[in-house]
Amino acid sequence: MIGRQSDGIECCNEAIKLDPTYQYGWHYKGVTLHSQGKYDEAIEAFDEAIRLDPEFASAWNNKGYALYSQDKYDEAIKAYDEAIRLNPEYAMPWNNKGLILDNQGKYDEAIEAFNRAIRLDPESTLASTLAWNNKGVSLYNQGKYDEAIEAYDEAIRLNPEYATAWFNKGNALYNQGKITEARSAYDKSRELGFKGHFPDLN
């Protein structure tokens, strides 16, 4: 994987060398640097893509994600809001903004952000699948386990191999004392490769 990432950076650098004004080369370089955990360098690359194309909504969104990865929540929200302003039909920054609001304990606002992502991108795509799962987390954090399970089930309907949603569903069922159902959900998440901490159900 590291070799492939290095190759990706080299390809981006070569593209940028050939055309320093190629905003997509800078953007992809930022995505690759972010995947390596090099968040400051990623933000620099996204900033260059944005300098070349100030209306590059994806670069604003991914800059927000890099800032989020550094726990710079206020700056990340500003980047997501700019992506949304530039492309009001862009679902992913709504999902990403919801994650920050959830982390801040603003669960109702988070749910509204996830709902916006779902309305914009309702069927079988990454943004809506993530948003349903993340909406479930915000509902779970409010103790609304039945509603959380409904949200997780929708994420699973869109992507039956979404291991995290199966695990989260298991947590909600466990908190309701539905141990047999929780065990089934946890088993499914393990089968799909989830590596988190599972409660002792014995």
User: What does the pLDDT look like over 129-150, one tens digit per residue?
Assistant: 999 999 999 999 999 999 999 9
Question: Which range marks the domain in which residue 40 is found?
Answer: 1-70
Query: Taking the CB of residue 152, how many other CB atoms lie within 10 A of it?
Result: 29
CA distances 113 to 22, 28, 40, Å, are 32, 26, 27
Residue 155 lies in a domain: no
Local confidence band at 3 (pLDDT 50, 70, 90 cut-offs): very low
Residue 156 lies in a domain: no
What confidence score (pLDDT) does residue 7 get? Answer: 67
Token pair, residue 125, equals 């795509």
Residue of 137, 140, 141, 113 whose CA lies nearest to 127: 113
Residue 3 lies in a domain: yes
Residue 47 lies in a domain: yes
Judge contact between 134 and 114, C-beta under 8 A.
yes
- Prediction pTM value: 0.89
What confidence score (pLDDT) does residue 5 get? Answer: 56
Number of domains within the chain: 1
The CATH number given to whatever domain includes residue 47 is: 1.25.40.10
Residue 4 lies in a domain: yes
Q: What is the largest CA-CA distance in the chain?
A: 61
Residue 149 lies in a domain: no
Residue 171 lies in a domain: no
Judge contact between 140 and 148, C-beta under 8 A.
yes
